[in-house]
């Protein structure tokens, strides 16, 4: 890419990826801000409420990552159909994905209903169990809406139209802020509900987002030719199985990474209110920063899938991945500097408790250290999803996040008594190993694609399956 003819296509690819990713990043940031709103409202209500919401949020997001990741099979599938000129097949595929989303939502609702009984046996501090249970009982009612929302969002993203992700994301934020405040503190005649109020307010927001997105897809001219809701299709196992074949490994991979952070929160929850509250602040800020490379990775998935659908030449796929890499390196540099220099200022937005603020600010220094490996691993995983190479990355993630990250974190944090700082050291180690393994896997998968010179003009690539 050093010769003059190749610079212009690469610059164009960077611009295209940036334009595609900007609403995705904004939408993900709005999701992170929802967590911030929950934490700020809970923190203002009291340290005990903040710690309870920390545990409840961890118990909620750990299982939700599997259906969220499983439905990530939709963007590369839609993008490849679009790139190959097979747009008429998108509507039937979407309707089958709705069946899958509905099944996943109902299974997750049942799981969360039972999980409240597992908090005490898990060793969570007894003072946090009532509030965490109340939060889970409230937010579980929004789970079926959330899986449907992801399905609709991923369809739009796969068609290179990411603006709705941003708009509905911030729309949910604008609803949650007043509703959560009213239900948590008990204003305007509403009884004070504490952590439970945040759970029910979050569920109401999720339903508003899902219904709004469905109305938009049904009325927007951009999607009219797809006939998304034009007819009723019964579930067809062959198509659902194809989605599961690609998506379930993605779901497990996402759960492997997210679970590393979630289980860390649960283990820290055993140490008491102060460490749990400080960790909740630090992990919420870290998650907010992560939304940026995550959005760029999703855009890279779509661009890689589109390049594969148009013919699958190695050069086009490499160009799409490198464009995402350039953008991720730039954004991760900025977030690392922010966490290094502004950690105390950021923590001050969450709490006025000096002890909690001091510990949280120190944990953000650890977060600054893993910005680059975190960005690299999520980008490489996104590029692999674009190739539909998902099975082997699942095993790589299991080793990096749990074989290295969790074992080291638990050993240092609980075994040697380092506390939250030991757990965060494990997070850094797991992300470093994941970034090396995922990047190496993408390089190998890329090498299997034919070069443009070796392909017939009319050739279409067969998606990499992750052998």
Cβ neighbours of residue 434 under 8 Å, at least 6 residues apart?
Answer: 257, 373, 377, 396, 397, 400, 401, 405
Burial of residue 3 (number of CB atoms within 10 Å: 0-12, 13-18, 19+) = exposed
Residue 425 above 60 pLDDT? yes
With b for 16 or more beta-carbon neighbours within 10 A and e for fewer, the 191-213 pattern comes to eebbbbbbbbbbbbbbbbbbebb
Q: How many CB atoms lie within 10 A of CB 440?
A: 12
- pLDDT interval class at 442 (50, 70, 90): very high
Q: What DSSP letter does each residue of 426-443 carry, written as one string?
A: HHHHHHHHHHHHHHHHHH
Nearest CA to 293 out of 165, 405, 368, 382 is that of 382
Q: How many CB atoms lie within 10 A of CB 232?
A: 6
- pLDDT interval class at 464 (50, 70, 90): very low
Q: What is the pLDDT of residue 31?
A: 72
Hey, which of 138-147, 224-233, 242-251, 302-311 has the most confident mean pLDDT? Answer: 138-147
Once rounded to an integer, what is the mean pLDDT over residues 264-280? Answer: 75
Alpha-carbon 276 to chain mean position: 22
User: Whole-number mean pLDDT of the chain?
Assistant: 83
How many angstroms separate the CA atoms of 370 and 128, rounded? Answer: 29
Nearest CA to 152 out of 199, 102, 84 is that of 102
Q: How wide is the angle at C-alpha 27 spanned by C-alphas 157 and 397, nearest 5°?
A: 75
> Left (φ > 0), alpha (ψ -120 to 50) or beta: where does 46 sit?
left
Q: What is the pLDDT of residue 449?
A: 79
- pLDDT interval class at 44 (50, 70, 90): confident
Q: How many CB atoms lie within 10 A of CB 189?
A: 6
How many angstroms separate the CA atoms of 134 and 267, rounded? Answer: 20
Which pair of tokens denotes residue 235?
Answer: 């579930």
Domains in the chain: boundaries: 4-449
CB 306 within 8 A of CB 82: yes
- pLDDT interval class at 127 (50, 70, 90): confident
CA–CA distance from 326 to each of 101, 296, 320, 371, 373 (Å)? 34, 10, 10, 14, 14
Residue 462 above 50 pLDDT? no
Torsion angle of the four alpha carbons 13, 19, 20, 22, in this order, in degrees rounded to the nearest 10 = 130
Q: Which ranges of 46-128 does DSSP label H, i.e. alpha helix?
A: 47-70, 74-83, 90-115
Q: How many CB atoms lie within 10 A of CB 421?
A: 16
Which pair of tokens denotes residue 352?
Answer: 């006025």
Which pair of tokens denotes residue 61?
Answer: 């997001």
Q: What is the pLDDT of residues 186-231, one digit of tens each?
A: 888 888 888 888 999 999 999 999 999 999 999 998 888 888 888 8
Residue 155 above 70 pLDDT? yes
Once rounded to an integer, what is the mean pLDDT over residues 74-91? Answer: 82
Residue 279 above 90 pLDDT? no
How many angstroms separate the CA atoms of 419 and 334, rounded? Answer: 28
Q: What is the pLDDT of residue 7?
A: 67
Residue 441 above 80 pLDDT? yes
Which pair of tokens denotes residue 131?
Answer: 């509030």
């Amino acid at each position: 890419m050093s010769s003059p003819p190749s610079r212009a296509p690469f610059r164009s690819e960077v611009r295209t990826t940036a334009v595609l990713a900007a609403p995705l990043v904004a939408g993900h940031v709005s999701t992170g801000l929802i967590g911030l709103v929950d934490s700020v409202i809970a923190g203002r209500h009291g340290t005990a409420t903040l710690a309870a919401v920390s545990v409840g949020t961890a118990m909620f997001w750990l299982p939700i990552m599997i259906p969220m990741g499983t439905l990530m099979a939709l963007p590369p599938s839609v993008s490849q159909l679009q790139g190959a000129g097979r747009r008429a097949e998108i509507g039937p595929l979407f309707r089958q994905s709705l069946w899958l989303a509905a099944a996943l939502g109902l299974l997750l609702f049942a799981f969360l209903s039972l999980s409240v009984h597992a908090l005490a046996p898990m060793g969570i501090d007894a003072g946090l169990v009532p509030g965490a249970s109340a939060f889970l009982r409230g937010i579980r009612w929004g789970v079926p809406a959330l899986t449907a929302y992801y399905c609709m969002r991923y369809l739009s993203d796969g068609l290179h139209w990411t603006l709705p992700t941003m708009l509905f994301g911030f729309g949910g934020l604008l609803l949650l802020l007043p509703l959560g405040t009213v239900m948590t503190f008990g204003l305007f005649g509403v009884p004070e509900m504490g952590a439970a109020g945040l759970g029910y307010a979050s569920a109401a927001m999720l339903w508003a987002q899902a219904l709004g997105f469905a109305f938009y897809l049904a009325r927007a001219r951009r999607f009219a030719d797809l006939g998304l809701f034009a007819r009723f299709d019964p579930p067809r196992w062959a198509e659902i199985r194809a989605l599961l074949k690609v998506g379930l490994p993605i779901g497990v991979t996402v759960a492997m990474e997210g679970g590393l952070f979630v289980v860390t929160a649960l283990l820290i929850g055993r140490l008491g209110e102060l460490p749990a509250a400080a960790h909740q602040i630090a992990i919420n800020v870290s998650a907010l920063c992560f939304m940026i490379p995550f959005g760029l990775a999703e855009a890279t998935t779509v661009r890689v899938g589109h390049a594969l659908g148009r013919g699958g030449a190695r050069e086009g796929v490499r160009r799409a991945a490198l464009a995402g890499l350039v953008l991720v390196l730039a954004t991760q540099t900025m977030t690392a500097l922010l966490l290094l220099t502004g950690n105390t200022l950021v923590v001050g937005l969450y709490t006025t408790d000096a002890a909690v603020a001091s510990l949280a600010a120190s944990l953000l220094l650890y977060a600054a250290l893993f910005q680059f490996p975190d960005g690299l691993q999520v980008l490489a995983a996104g590029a692999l999803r674009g190739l539909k190479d998902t099975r082997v990355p699942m095993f790589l993630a299991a080793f990096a996040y749990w074989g290295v990250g969790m074992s080291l974190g638990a050993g240092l944090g609980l075994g040697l008594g380092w506390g939250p700082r030991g757990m965060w050291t494990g997070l850094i180690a797991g992300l470093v190993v994941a970034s090396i393994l995922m990047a190496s896997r993408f390089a190998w998968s890329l090498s299997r694609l034919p070069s443009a010179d070796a392909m017939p003009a009319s050739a279409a690539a067969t998606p990499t399956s992750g052998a």
